[in-house]
Amino acid sequence: MIAQIVLSLLLGIVLLYAWAQYRRSPIVAVLACVVSLMGFYFVWLPSHATRVAEFVGIGRGADLVLYVWACISLIVLLNLHLKLRTQHELLTQLARSIALANAALPEDASSSSPPRTSAFTEAQTSQPRYQLADGPRSGQTADQRA
Partner 1 sequence: MRNSPFSSIWVVCPAYNESTAIVSVITRLRQAGYDVVVVDDGSADETRQLATASATAVVSHPINLGQGAALKTGIDFALEQGADAIVTFDTDGQHRASDIPRLLEALVSNQADFALGSRFLTEPLSMPRMRRILLWGATLFTVATTGLRLTDTHNGLRAMTRRGAQALRLRQNRMAHASELLAEIARSGLRYVEVPVTIDYTEYSLAKGQRTGDFVMILLDLLAGKLYR
In angstroms, rounded to a whole number, what is the distance separating the alpha carbons of residues 46 and 52? 10
Going by the DSSP 8-state scheme, the letter that residue 10 receives in this structure is H
Short-list 76, 45, 49, 77, CA closest to 61 = 49
Kind and range of the H or E run holding 124: helix 119-124
CB nearer partner 1, residue 24 or residue 51: 24
- Positions 94 through 133 that interact with partner 1 (CB under 8 A): 95-96, 98-100, 102-106, 109, 113-114, 116-118, 132
Taking CB under 8 A as the binding criterion, the range among 5-13, 20-28, 39-47, 49-57 that sits at the site for partner 1 is 20-28
CB nearer partner 1, residue 125 or residue 141: 141
User: By CB under 8 A, how many residues form the interface with partner 1?
Assistant: 39
**What are the φ and ψ backbone dihedral angles of 143, each rounded to 5 degrees?**
-90, 0
Distance linking the first and last C-alpha atoms of the chain: 57
CB of 39 to partner 1, least distance (A): 22
CB nearer partner 1, residue 45 or residue 132: 132
CB of 97 to partner 1, least distance (A): 9
CB nearer partner 1, residue 57 or residue 114: 114
CB of 49 to partner 1, least distance (A): 30
CB of 125 to partner 1, least distance (A): 15
Judged by CB under 8 A, the residue of 2, 55, 85, 111 near partner 1 is 85
Phi-psi region of 82 (alpha: psi -120 to 50; beta: other; left: phi over 0): alpha
Phi-psi region of 16 (alpha: psi -120 to 50; beta: other; left: phi over 0): alpha
